[in-house]
Amino acid sequence: MSALRQIRRLGVDMVTAFQFLTRIPMPSIEFEADSLSRAVKFFPLVGLVVGSGVVSLQMVLTPHLNRSLVALILLLYLVFITGCFHEDGLADTADAFGGGWNRDQILLIMRDSRIGSYGGTALVLSLLARYLLLASLPLEHFAAYIISAHVLCRWSSLPLSYFLPPAREQDGQGARIAKLTSLPSLIFGSLCSFAVVGFALRRAAVTPLVVATLTVGLSGWLYSRKLGGVTGDCFGATNQLTEIAVYFCGAWNV
């Protein structure tokens, strides 16, 4: 493969990652069957861009508004920029695991477009937790923890998609990347993610990295045990949990 074609392919992968995870306008590209599985390595980059938007907004708003209002606006930005993509996954996963007694029931509930009591409760708690944590992060370390949280929560899809097979073979977003992420993509995405977090937090990076890894490992173990694999909703749920976990690390250090 020529160098020019490799560069073009990387550009397509990057655009695909942003198109899939955000509502940020991107140029039109030709769809390829393996586009998404190749794009996974750039998911942490998406987190870096989204997190940078949060930091920029916070810097503009903080001199004019109290911290509670700033946190609310930042949360609205996050919901808008991702189109509630991860929130939807969290709600569906909570409904499925809360109401399903076996694998078939869990997968069936996940496909139900309606939201139930478990999903509604999970969604409210997620929004409330992020609101309170955004308002509680120390200002001097705000940017570092925001960037770290959004890089690591997008990174969570790499180990899940590398190690776990799709819970549904026939369709679903999870089947487009589960067990299809290559080892080079996992290594590249992980090294870049850890380097960004290390640069942002210096010595304090150890705790968020450990907590994020534990969150991904425990949720992956649950998905494997209950479903024998992972779905698109599972990726969204772990993303949300990892974001909250890293925020909590920052608030704990106050």
Q: Give residue-wise pLDDT tens across range 6-40.
A: 778 788 889 999 999 999 888 877 777 778 889 99
Both structure tokens of 44: 């942490």
Name the helix (H) or strand (E) containing 11: helix 3-21
Strand partners, 166: 230
- How far apart are alpha carbons 158 and 179 in whole angstroms? 10
C-alpha distance from residue 90 to each of 56, 96, 114, 155, 243 (Å): 27, 10, 13, 17, 12
Q: Give residue-wise pLDDT tens across range 198-237.
A: 999 999 999 999 999 999 999 999 999 999 999 999 999 9
Position 210: which residue type?
V
Both structure tokens of 168: 């549904």
pLDDT of residue 9: 79
- How far apart are alpha carbons 239 and 237 in whole angstroms? 5
Both structure tokens of 144: 């570092």
pLDDT of residue 188: 95
For the four alpha carbons of 18, 23, 29 and 34, in that order, the dihedral sign comes to positive
For the four alpha carbons of 25, 26, 29 and 32, in that order, the dihedral sign comes to negative
Global pTM reads 0.94
Report the pLDDT averaged over residues 29-54. 89
Q: What is the mean pLDDT of the chain?
A: 92
For residue 167, is pLDDT > 80? yes
- How far apart are alpha carbons 241 and 54 in whole angstroms? 18
